[in-house]
Structures are given as C-alpha cells and as structure tokens.
Amino acid sequence: MLRFVCVVLISVCTGMGLAQKSGAPELIALSGSPKLPAAIAVSFSEKALQEGTAWSSRGKDFFFAVSSGAEPKLVIDDGPPRAMQRAGAYWYAVAQVPKLDALHAFHYLVKGAEFGGSHDVPAFGPMFYPESGVAQGTLSEKLTFSSKIYDGMVSSYWVYVPAAYKAGTPAALMVFQDGHGYLNREVGALNVIDHLIAAGKMPVTICVFTDPGEIAGSPGTPTYKFVQAYSDKWHRTLTDSMRSTEYDTVSDRYARFLRDELLPLVEAKYPLRKDAYSRAITGSSSGAIAAFNAAWQQPDQWSRVLSWIGTYVGIQWREDPAIPDGGQDYPEKVYREDHRNLRVWLQDGANDMEGASGPVPRYGSWPLGNLKMANALKQKGYDMHLSFGTGTHNGSHGTVTLPESLTWLWRGYDAAKTSEVYEQSAEEKALPVFRVRVVGRPSE
C-alpha cells in the first residue's frame, strides 16, 4: 500500500512472535542442539516459516529457517545453492553475507523450483549499533501542535540533539518525514547519526523527525473536506489521505508548513543554521517526494535531499484543480524549470512495483519514475546519485545504505561556509544516462 513502509531497523525478520524470541547470535549458537526447533518456533511466525521468508541477522551473520516437506537448498544473492540442516520440523542454515551496509536477497530451491525468499535482506554494519566510545544524543518525547496551514491538523514530531551540540550555537538541520520510523535506538538511524557526527562525516545536526498529521479532529474545515473527499474517492483511510495530501502534493504548502510552523517551534529551544547549505531533508515513498518537493519549492531553505523509493508518480495529480502538476511531472519540471542548487541522492529498486496491480490505484511505475528523475537530474547537471537495486517498496535498501548516503550528502561540509555551488562530479559526468532492459517478457 502507499502508506509509509516503516524503516525501523531490526535484526530479525518481520512477522516474528513476541514471546522469548531469539536473535541470530542465539539461534546460531543453538545449531545442532535439541533446543533449536523450539527456539525457531518461538522466534519466527509460522506464516513466515511456511512461506519461506523467515530470517534473522546480526552484521554479516545470518540464520535462515523454513518449513518444508522436501529438502530445500538456500541461495543467497546469485551464489550457489547451499545445503540446509534438519531441526525437528524445520530446515535451517547459518551463513554469512559478503557485504555489510548492503541489501541482499535469498530464496530456496525445493525439488528444483524456486520457493520463498526476499529481495529485501539488509546486512547492517557497525554504525547501526551503539558503541561505547561513541556518545549518544538525546531524543525528545513526542511533541504535538495544531497547524493553521492545514486547518487544525494535529502534527507530531521529535527532536534529536546530538551529544556534540553546544547550547546556543546554531546547528545544522535535517528533517525526516514519517519520523517515528527512525527512532529505534537498538539498531538504527540514531546510531548512524551518532557515528557520523563523531567521525566528522556529518556536522553537528539537530534532527527533526516529523509524522504526517491527523485531521479527524477538525471536521468541516477546507482541509478536512478535501482529505475526506480524497479518502472516499480512492478508498484510503483518513490518516493515509492526510499523509498523501501533505506529502504527494506538488506545491509549496508543505514547505511552508515546515518553514513557518514546525521549525520555529524547534528554533525556540535550539538555534538552527538558516543557510540552505546547512540543511538536509529526507523521506521514504511519499515522504521522499515531500522532501524533494520542499527543496524544489524553497531552495533557499534546503539544499541536500535524500529520497528513498520516491513516489514520482501521479498520486495527487489534479486532485486539487488549482494544482495541476503531480509527482509524475517532476522529471519534466527538472528539465524545463530553472536550475536549483540541490544535491540529491535517489534510491529505488527494480522490484518496486507497487501500484502496478491489485487493490492499489494505478498511479504509475515507481522504478521508472525514479529512473526518469535520475536521468533528468543527471542531464541537467545536478550533483546527484542513484542507488538502484533489486528491492521492493520498503525502506530496507535506503536504510542499510544510510551511512554511505549521509556521508555523500554532507561530504565537504565546512561550518565556516554558508553556501556552495554544487556541481556534478567528474565521475558522474563520465557515465552515460540510465538505461533500462525489459525483463520478464519475450524479446522481439
């Protein structure tokens, strides 16, 4: 669905049970033990075991388990099939993936046929975990306020203050859309931020994690009426429709919401740098186009954009007669409108086919939209990068490459400067535009 795919970073697969589950190190330690079958049954959901999607990891070390009547073979990435071992009613394998801070894939071979697996298997490197020598910042409690720009919408946000922050000194700023998805301290983005700031690869940065708002408490307002009509038309919840109204709309409204309502609340306690050079913004899916749109609409406020699985498709296209453009128009806007001084990292995956079929409205192709964006930015000379893998519509690939993408986004930052004209790297200039091959259909 188009709702935010949560990017909370976890070291075990989605769908596990809640009672006494074991992580990869514990499961690996039980290899060959009579206690392993019970540990597998508790640590993974039966559905994940039956469907062949159960896995757990810590760093490069992975534990795979599956329920199968016939002996399965495990295939990781494009490697050779690996033998698996019996553990009661289950089969399991212990393996190491070749690369950290990268997305991997796996599937099984059962009687020669592919079964189960996933394109979205992240291997988190050391920066994703707390480290005793790296000071941790402080995360605020959830804060809320009522918006005037969105007619009474209640917005929630959190503020993260790095350990190196000096009170009274204006700090760099980074805003994260769908902010609740980044707040896990055990394994996650907060740790990456701490590591990068400590290593000097990211400036001392106040991070604001903002969630889509709730409009249910303001019936009768223009925003409520618009969101309700959109919800009825596309059979989406009121909350999801409010998120789309904020994030997917191609206008300056959301950018004004950030500049005029949210950030002044943060600045009342923590002085922020005013220069766009010191400001970055990011998001996933609709949150990604919201990030790009904010920077495009207000390049005096933002200059660094991190976009994961962006919805550069026609979600809010012509929903408001006064706003004719939709997300699918952004490549053409990049080509035809004035150049903005932006540095942009895009990420998507070849299997990000949400919206192509099923109950979701057919808004367009996510992978092709992101490829068109990448080509437009490249051909217009933007300082840009495209990270394109095999993943589906979720935050796994974007998340696992967070150390690399944030390092790239903030590279060369100098706190003594307030501006820089971004230029496309010589390496990127030497590369051709992105091209596609048709797969899964007969060639002519």
Write out the H or E segment, with its range, that includes residue 230.
Answer: helix 222-234
Closest of 352, 167, 162 to residue 270, by C-alpha? 167
pLDDT in tens, 217-272: 999 999 999 999 999 999 999 999 999 999 999 999 999 999 999 999 999 999 99
Token pair recorded at residue 298: 């207000």
Higher-pLDDT residue of 180 and 13 is: 180
318 three-class SS? coil
Token pair recorded at residue 419: 């501006």
- Report d(CA 419, CA 4) in Å as an integer: 33
Write out the H or E segment, with its range, that includes residue 371.
Answer: helix 366-379
- What's the pLDDT at 358? 44
Q: How confident is the model at residue 86 (pLDDT cuts 50, 70, 90)?
A: very high
Stated length of the chain: 444
pLDDT in tens, 323-332: 999 999 999 9
- Report d(CA 317, CA 312) in Å as an integer: 11
> Domain spanning 127-429 has what CATH number?
3.40.50.1820
- Read off the DSSP letter of residue 343: E
Closest of 295, 394, 297 to residue 345, by C-alpha? 295
C-beta separation of 224 from 159 below 8 A? no
Domain ranges of the chain: 24-124, 127-429
Mean model confidence pLDDT for the chain: 93
* Mean pLDDT for the stretch of residues 344-368: 77
- Read off the DSSP letter of residue 256: H
pTM: 0.92
Closest of 104, 167, 115 to residue 138, by C-alpha? 167
Which whole-number Å values give the CA distances from 227 to 96, 113, 234, 237, 239, in the listed order?
Answer: 47, 46, 11, 9, 9
pLDDT in tens, 144-200: 999 999 999 999 999 999 999 999 999 999 999 999 999 999 889 999 999 999 999
C-beta separation of 366 from 352 below 8 A? yes
Which whole-number Å values give the CA distances from 59 to 100, 129, 221, in the listed order?
Answer: 7, 10, 49
* Mean pLDDT for the stretch of residues 79-87: 97
- What's the pLDDT at 437? 86
- What's the pLDDT at 441? 83
Closest of 291, 424, 425 to residue 346, by C-alpha? 291
138 beta partners: 161
Percent of the chain beyond pLDDT 70? 94
Terminal-to-terminal C-alpha distance of the chain: 33
pLDDT exceeds cutoff 80 at 2: no
Q: Characterize the bridge pairing of strands 85-87 and 90-96.
A: antiparallel
Look at the domain 24-124 and name its fold. Immunoglobulin-like (2.60.40)
- Report d(CA 290, CA 293) in Å as an integer: 5
pLDDT exceeds cutoff 50 at 21: yes
- Report d(CA 85, CA 72) in Å as an integer: 9
pLDDT exceeds cutoff 60 at 307: yes
